[in-house]
């Protein structure tokens, strides 16, 4: 450390004072009063100077210290926020536990505004401040007694016992479903949360629309959900009607005894089922006329009614409050007669959400086949599903126009169980979907090559 | 550092069980009342006992509450407290617990019979 001028002067003057004091003592021994007075005056003079210098140095040091801290100030004159995180009261507690062992401080929580814990010394100091020094008491009490007092004081309020965290109970609908309902093994279409959300939608009457390629399990999913919720199940296919109005509303009947009368449709009965029917509207995109969709609009939206004819005084069928709709749709290029997309207004009716299903992953598809065709061997199930995956990859690469569905895999597995060879069963099930056309690079040839590449 | 508290399970029978436990009923009797309201439930006195311990540990129930209702009261109280969502969740529990769902009933048939039995029976009919 380099000494400042003031420090050097202080050192010099201190030495001079020391020297003068020595001379003054000598003068006293010689009884030389005059010399003693002179040295004493000089000492006093030097001491005054020394005090001035010391004050000067102190002021300078304080100033320097202030300037040093000013370096850290930002442009606005304040101190920038430190990147080091402030220790929390719990961190302090951990420190205490580390130093003094965990037992004394465990189970206690430091209140942020509280002082540090009492110990024997601090209690004795506080006692002295409050009541003055009491020698007799302090002699009588040992350090351990003061320590006990500290413990008592700590327990009395300086420290509060840690409150047990209040239990969080998830009593929401999805929470209850998750806690109580197991995902059935047949449900392999999506993750568990999708399963619980679908159940929640059924409970809240938020209708569901499921889209995906043919044979991927859309209808099976609907049947599973209906079965789990134990609702009366009714299925209406939009592709199998020549008379949409008769399918949904009903038709006139005649016999010679009763004459002509109106017979309401199965759909009308399902709407009025007091147990809250689970109505599956299957393949809604196959209705090319659009009539079915139009008739169903007021049924699916907030109006929740079905008018049986178009007259002013038409009979109105009110829906039971627990009726639930589950619709499926094929959307894609390979579906003859199917629209490429659904009407926006139609989609809006399905407030429970539109779920896009795809074919199952190979492993899950294999499990499903083994589950639904229990006598198929594991190896056959694996080979069938691997072949399906290969064809689906070609479909995705747009080399084929049709993919292999899970339904086709199941049909193949059933044929194998009944005694057909695997490759023959595949040819039997799959090839009719690929047209016979001339050429060496047709879709059919590609599929045959894929089958043959499987070996025996 | 705040301790992370995991949400605790809340099942469809918990509301009813808590109400009856608050009236000092024994877990066995609470289970009977729950079985009355949910006939296909697999909840037993042991389940209710475990739930009771949890409530006591969480300070949501005090120990040794004197009994203030009888079984008849318990049956009617349970009927009254079951909410729509509890009833729905119960239906789903029963539905999902079926070994095979309705839509796969053929699997049961297949499991019950030997694979060849159907074929033999069918062939015999043709020959006859």
Question: Where do the domains of chain A lie?
Answer: 5-70, 91-161, 185-356, 362-452
Q: Are residues B60 and B85 in the same domain?
A: yes
Choose among B5, B89, B101: nearest Cβ to A176: B89
Q: Are residues B82 and B104 in the same domain?
A: no
ipTM score of complex: 0.74
Q: Which residues of A touch B92 (CB under 8 A)?
A: 177, 180-181, 199, 228-229
Q: Given phi > 0 = left and psi -120 to 50 = alpha, else beta, which region is A86?
A: beta
Residues 226-265 on A with a CB inside 8 Å of B are: 226-230, 233
Choose among A88, A181, A374: nearest Cβ to B1: A88
The answer to whether the CB of B110 falls within 8 A of the CB of A374 is yes
Q: Are residues B108 and B90 in the same domain?
A: no
- Closest to A362 in 3D by CA, of A396, A325, A404: A404
Q: Are residues B86 and B118 in the same domain?
A: no
pLDDT per residue over B72-86, tens digit each? Answer: 999 999 988 999 999
- Tracing tokens 């009407």 back to the chain, one arrives at A343
Q: Do A180 and B60 touch (CB under 8 A)?
A: no
Residues 185-224 on A with a CB inside 8 Å of B are: 186, 199, 203, 220, 223-224
- Helix (H), strand (E) counts: chain A: 19, 12
pLDDT of residue B109: 46
Query: pLDDT-based confidence at B8, cuts 50/70/90?
Result: confident
Residues 94-133 on A with a CB inside 8 Å of B are: none
- Closest to B91 in 3D by CA, of A362, A276, A28: A276
Q: Which domain holds residue B9?
A: 1-97
Interface with B, mutate which of A181, A195, A377, A407 (most B CBs under 10 A):
A181
- Residue ranges of chain A with pLDDT lower than 50? 1-2, 110-114, 158-161, 336, 338
Choose among B11, B12, B94: nearest Cβ to A230: B94
Domain A185-356 has CATH 3.40.50.300: yes
The alpha carbon of residue A81 is apart from the nearest alpha carbon of chain B, in Å, by: 21
Q: Are residues B27 and B50 in the same domain?
A: yes
pLDDT of residue A280: 92
The alpha carbon of residue B32 is apart from the nearest alpha carbon of chain A, in Å, by: 19
Q: Which residues of B touch A87 (CB under 8 A)?
A: none
pLDDT of residue B38: 94
Q: Do A169 and B7 touch (CB under 8 A)?
A: yes
Q: Are residues B42 and B71 in the same domain?
A: yes
What's the pTM value of the predicted model, to 2 decimals?
0.60
- What are the beta bridge partners of residue A252? A262
Q: Is A226 exposed, middle or buried (0-12, 13-18, 19+ CB in 10 A)?
A: buried
pLDDT of residue B100: 52
The alpha carbon of residue B104 is apart from the nearest alpha carbon of chain A, in Å, by: 7
Q: How many domains does chain B have?
A: 2
Choose among A169, A176, A229: nearest Cβ to B85: A176
**Distance (Å) of CA A65 to CA A56, A58, A72, A311, B114:** 14, 11, 12, 96, 96
pLDDT per residue over A140-160, tens digit each? Answer: 777 677 777 777 776 665 444
Q: Is A206 exposed, middle or buried (0-12, 13-18, 19+ CB in 10 A)?
A: middle
Q: Are residues B9 and B52 in the same domain?
A: yes
Choose among B6, B89, B103: nearest Cβ to A227: B103
Q: Which residues of B touch A176 (CB under 8 A)?
A: 10-12, 85-86, 89
- Closest to A117 in 3D by CA, of A88, A165, A149: A149
Q: Which residues of A touch B9 (CB under 8 A)?
A: 170, 179
What is the distance, to the nearest Å, from the Cα of residue A232 to the centroid of all Cα atoms in its chain?
35
Q: Which residues of B touch A165 (CB under 8 A)?
A: 3, 5
- Tracing tokens 């003693």 back to the chain, one arrives at A36
Judged by a CB distance cut-off of 8 A, whether residue A407 touches chain B is no
- What are the beta bridge partners of residue B66? none
Three-class secondary structure of residue A213 per DSSP = coil
Query: pLDDT-based confidence at B1, cuts 50/70/90?
Result: very low
pLDDT per residue over A231-286, tens digit each? Answer: 999 998 887 777 777 778 887 788 888 888 778 888 888 888 888 899 998 888 87
pLDDT per residue over A332-358, tens digit each? Answer: 655 545 455 677 787 888 888 888 888
């Amino acid at each position: 450390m380099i000494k400042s001028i003031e420090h050097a002067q202080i050192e010099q003057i201190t030495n001079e004072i020391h020297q003068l004091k020595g001379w003054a003592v000598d003068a006293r021994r010689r009884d030389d009063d005059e010399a003693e007075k002179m040295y004493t005056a000089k000492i006093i003079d030097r001491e005054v100077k020394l005090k001035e210098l010391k004050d000067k140095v102190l002021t300078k040091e304080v100033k320097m210290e202030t300037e040093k801290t000013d370096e850290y100030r930002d442009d606005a004159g304040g101190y920038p926020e430190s990147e080091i995180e402030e220790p929390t009261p719990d961190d302090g507690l951990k420190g205490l536990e580390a130093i003094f062992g965990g037992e004394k401080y465990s189970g206690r929580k430091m209140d942020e505004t509280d002082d540090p814990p009492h110990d024997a010394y601090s209690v004795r100091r506080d006692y002295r401040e409050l009541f003055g020094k009491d020698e007799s008491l302090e002699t009588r009490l040992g350090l351990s007694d003061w320590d006990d007092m500290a413990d008592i004081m700590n327990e009395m309020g300086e420290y509060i016992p840690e409150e047990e965290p209040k239990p969080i109970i998830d009593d929401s609908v999805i929470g209850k479903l998750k806690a109580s309902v197991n995902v059935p093994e047949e449900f392999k279409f999506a993750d568990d949360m999708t399963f619980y959300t679908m159940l929640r939608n059924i409970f809240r009457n938020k209708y569901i629309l499921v889209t995906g390629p043919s044979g991927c399990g859309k209808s099976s999913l609907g049947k599973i959900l209906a079965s789990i919720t134990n609702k009366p199940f009714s299925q209406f296919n939009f592709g199998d009607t020549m008379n949409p109005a008769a399918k949904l509303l009903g038709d006139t009947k005649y016999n010679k005894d009763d004459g002509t009368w109106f017979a309401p449709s199965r759909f009308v009965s399902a709407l009025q089922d007091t147990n809250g029917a689970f109505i599956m509207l299957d393949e809604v995109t196959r209705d090319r006329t659009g009539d079915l969709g139009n008739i169903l609009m007021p049924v699916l939206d907030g109006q929740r009614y079905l008018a049986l004819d178009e007259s002013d005084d038409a009979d109105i069928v009110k829906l039971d409050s627990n009726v639930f709709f589950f619709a499926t749709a094929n959307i894609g290029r390979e579906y003859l007669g199917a629209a490429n997309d659904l009407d926006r207004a139609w989609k809006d009716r399905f407030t429970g959400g539109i779920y896009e299903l795809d074919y199952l992953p190979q492993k899950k598809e294999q499990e499903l086949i083994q589950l639904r065709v229990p006598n198929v061997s594991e190896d056959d199930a694996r080979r069938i599903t691997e072949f399906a995956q290969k064809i689906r990859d070609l479909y995705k690469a747009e080399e084929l126009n049709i993919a292999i569905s899970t339904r086709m895999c199941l049909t193949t597995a059933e044929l194998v169980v009944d005694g057909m060879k695997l490759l023959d069963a595949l040819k039997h099930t799959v090839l009719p979907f690929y047209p016979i056309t001339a050429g060496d690079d047709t879709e059919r040839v590609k599929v045959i090559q894929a089958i043959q590449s499987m070996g025996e | 550092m705040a301790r992370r508290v995991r949400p605790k399970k809340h099942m469809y029978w918990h509301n009813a069980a808590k109400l009856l436990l608050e009236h000092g009923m024994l877990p066995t009797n609470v289970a009977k009342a729950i079985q009355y309201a949910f006939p296909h439930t697999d909840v037993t006195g042991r389940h209710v006992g475990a739930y009771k311990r949890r409530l006591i540990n969480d300070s949501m129930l005090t120990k040794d509450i004197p009994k203030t209702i009888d079984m008849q009261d318990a049956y009617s109280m349970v009927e009254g407290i079951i909410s729509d969502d509890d009833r729905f969740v119960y239906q789903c529990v029963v539905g999902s617990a079926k070994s095979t769902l309705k839509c796969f009933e053929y699997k049961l048939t297949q499991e019950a019979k030997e694979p060849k039995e159907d074929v033999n029976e069918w062939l015999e009919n043709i020959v006859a």
